[in-house]
């Protein structure tokens, strides 16, 4: 879609953009010619800090290490099935 977006910490910070006390959402439709350059820097910062980092964070989600409960459950299943699996192999499952 290519729409730049930014998640801002507080409503007061958005309010400074529209010269109000607070604002919940801001959508820019028309920009004055003297503010065009500032908007371009804001859009490039938004793309660099939010949109482009999405793929990077999505790939790093999760560690692949099982917790104590799931490891114990897997050991119990292996024991019930009659197989002998070393403790190291169970942690990899």
For residues 26 and 77, what is the distance between their CA atoms, to the nearest angstrom?
A: 54
- Cβ atoms of 15 and 25 closer than 8 Å: no
pLDDT at 39: 85
Q: What is the model's pLDDT at position 48?
A: 82
**Structure confidence by residue, pLDDT tens digits, 46-59:** 888 777 777 676 66
- pLDDT given for residue 89 in this prediction: 63
CB atoms near residue 68 (< 10 Å) = 7
pLDDT-flagged residues of the chain (< 50): 88
């Amino acid at each position: 879609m290519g729409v730049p977006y930014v998640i801002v910490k507080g409503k007061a910070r958005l309010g400074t953009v529209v010269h109000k006390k607070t604002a919940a959402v801001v959508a820019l439709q028309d920009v004055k010619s003297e503010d065009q350059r500032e908007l371009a820097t804001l859009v490039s910062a938004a793309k660099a800090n939010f949109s482009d980092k999405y793929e990077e964070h999505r790939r790093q989600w999760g560690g692949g290490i099982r917790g104590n409960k799931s490891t114990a459950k897997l050991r119990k299943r292996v024991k019930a099935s009659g197989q002998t699996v070393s403790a190291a192999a169970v942690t990899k499952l």
